[in-house]
Amino acid sequence: MPYLVNSLIRSYAFMRELETEIVEKFGNRLRTRVNGVLIKDNQILLIKHRMAEGRYFWNVPGGGMKYGSNAIDNLKREFLEETGLEIVVGDFLCVYEYLDKPLHAVELYYEVKEVGGTLKLGKDPELENDKQLIMEIAYLDIEKLRFIKKSDKHRLFWEINDLNEVLKWKGYFNFENNSIK
């Protein structure tokens, strides 16, 4: 029994550290992010991120832009880091403003096509190996995407009925985020 208690305490401490790390690395500032929508064989490539104890977040590959590098180059870099895939960036799809304090990001979404590499679970170079957020990478069809709880996936994917709808997004979205008003 003491082993179980100690294990739970270590797990809780790790998750508190992880939450602190997320806030320190990504919170309390506006970030510009680039995201790539890769649809292949009627499945969309998504990454599952560990956000806190029992809290996960599925979104397409992408990440923060580095100063001095354009959106296309940033997206290619992020995609390779997180998925092992080389891509060509296609049409600009939309802008989404994400605000769930302390996180605030303006996210640029692009259609992408795979041109090389091998799919593998990547990592966030901003984080130490023992504090990685990327838990899983998978191609999901619409049914599997619907199965993920709304709170565990990006708001853009809450109401879609067909993956091709994603490629028709145009404009700016914040879905009545009361924190933005």
Which residues of the chain register pLDDT less than 70? 1-28, 175-181
Cβ-based neighbours of 37, under 8 Å, separated by 6 or more: 44, 60, 93, 109, 110, 111, 112, 166, 167
pLDDT value for 145: 96
Contact in structure between 43 and 163 (CB atoms under 8 Å): yes
User: pTM for this one?
Assistant: 0.81
- Tokens at 13, concatenated: 């401490």
Nearest to 128 by CA among 15, 16, 18: 18
- Cis peptide preceding 102, ω within 30 of 0: yes
Kindly list the structural domains of the chain, giving each domain's residue range(s) and its CATH number in brackets, ordered by start.
2-173 (3.90.79.10)
Contact in structure between 93 and 166 (CB atoms under 8 Å): yes
Kindly list the strands in the beta sheet with 29-37, ordered across the sheet, starting from the edge strand earlier in the chain: 62-64, 29-37, 103-117, 85-100, 172-173
pLDDT value for 170: 87
